[in-house]
Amino acid sequence: MFDKLEFIEDKYEDLSHKISDAEIIADQARWKKLVKEHANIEPIVIKFREYKEVIKGIEDSHEMLKDDLDRDFEEMVNLELKELEGKKENMEQELTVLLLPKDPNDDKNVIVEIRGAAGGDEAALFAGDLFRMYTRYAERLGWKIEILSSSPTDIGGYKEVIFEIDGKGAYSRLKYESGAHRVQRVPDTEASGRIHTSTSTVAVLPEAEDVDVDINMNDLRIDVFRSGGHGGQSVNTTDSAVRVTHLPSGLVVSCQDEKSQLKNKDKAIKILKSRLLDLEIARHNAEIASERKSQVGTGDRSERIRTYNFPQGRVTDHRIGMTLYQLDSFLDGDIDQMIDAIITSTQAEKLKNNEE
């Protein structure tokens, strides 16, 4: 591990010089690539340098203990040595985690797709609750949100809502939200007070860049049609809605929220690119999952990942067996505690697999 850390530190120093070179700065594409690489390894280098300081402190303490010290000073050195040994152990664990292979999509923006599944109107209402939850979470972190496509229902909620979250590290935090979310509560329309169970599905896709997915426009069939449902004056009056079909994969994306046909087309292609990238990620994750027991973080769309129980005020994540009795704040976007626990569990599984 330490040879690898020394190599990374040397690389960091080399990159530091390169990104300050006027000739390289003039080539913006190359400079941006090097700056990103420099930023990615900086946390490892900072932690490694802290670790080396601790190692030096331990060595200095051992040297001092070789001398003839008075009792009080010797006791003080031993206490400091014990503290440094504890720091050394913790830092070694942190460095091991930092050296784990990083998901290349972690820094990307995301496209989130939420759909009401089993449960009819109640599932659509719950889809609206989930949309608000992720919106509030994004607001807490200062991320931007843009709705790309939506199918609202007459009583509130959504049959489907697709939106983009623009924020650094959005995918690294939200990728574990993909799956089936189950809600247990008494609907407003239920006179007898009987608890209903409904589900909505969430798909979190990394936003695809042109370098990630190359779409041949000849592979697309683009149809225009008249918008329907909720909307402004243009709804049902102009052929502004767009349906894009990717012929090789069979994927279909429709957008009708914008009055402009061009804007709807651009949004549909953005969603399509992210879905195509997600297919590649899913194939990769399936290969990994076949080689390990843990399914945490694979993003299986059919997997029921979480239950939101209103009568008990609890939310339970079934992948890690964690239950929080703070449903109201959770649905208001306070979801970091759960996300942190899932990330920790995933890292532990990766460490275990590396050891095997």
Question: pLDDT-derived band of residue 236, with 50, 70 and 90 as boundaries?
Answer: very low
Question: Which domain range does residue 22 map to?
Answer: 2-98
Query: What value does the mean pLDDT take over residues 222-226?
Result: 76
**Whether residue 144 sits in one domain with residue 66:** no
- What pLDDT sits at residue 285? 62
**Whether residue 75 sits in one domain with residue 12:** yes
Residue 255's φ and ψ, nearest 5 degrees, are -135, 135
Q: Name the token pair of 283.
A: 């194939």
Task: Please state which of the ranges 121-135, 149-163, 200-214 shows the lowest mean pLDDT.
Answer: 200-214
**Whether residue 298 sits in one domain with residue 200:** yes
**Whether residue 224 sits in one domain with residue 118:** no
In this structure, is the dihedral angle defined by the CA atoms of residues 118, 122, 124 and 125, taken in order, positive or negative?
A: negative
Do the beta carbons of residue 127 and residue 115 sit within 8 Å? Answer: yes
Domain end (from 280, 302, 324): 280
Residue-wise pLDDT for 297-339, tens only, equals 433 445 689 999 999 999 999 999 999 999 999 999 999 999 9
**Whether residue 174 sits in one domain with residue 311:** yes
Question: pLDDT-derived band of residue 274, with 50, 70 and 90 as boundaries?
Answer: confident
Q: How many domains does the chain divide into? A: 3
**Whether residue 303 sits in one domain with residue 270:** no
**Whether residue 326 sits in one domain with residue 239:** no
Residue 94 resides in a domain: yes
Task: Please state which of the ranges 15-29, 84-98, 270-284 shows the lowest mean pLDDT.
Answer: 270-284
Query: What value does the mean pLDDT take over residues 12-16?
Result: 91
**Whether residue 336 sits in one domain with residue 236:** no
Q: Tell me, what CATH number does 255's domain have?
A: 3.30.160.20
Question: pLDDT-derived band of residue 295, with 50, 70 and 90 as boundaries?
Answer: very low
- What pLDDT sits at residue 294? 42
- What pLDDT sits at residue 299? 38
- What pLDDT sits at residue 18? 92
pTM, 2 dp: 0.66
**Whether residue 41 sits in one domain with residue 189:** no
The percent of residues above 90 in pLDDT, for the chain, comes to 32
Residue 288 resides in a domain: no
Amino acid present at 116: G
Contacts of 327 (CB under 8 A, 6+ apart): 308, 309, 310, 313, 314, 315
- Per-residue pLDDT at 282 exceeds 80: no
Sheet hosting strand 251-255, strand order edge to edge: 220-225, 241-246, 251-255
Residue 285 resides in a domain: no
**Whether residue 239 sits in one domain with residue 132:** no
Hey, is 338 helix, strand or coil? Answer: helix
Query: What value does the mean pLDDT take over residues 266-282?
Result: 79
- Mean pLDDT, all residues of the chain: 82
Hey, is 66 helix, strand or coil? Answer: coil
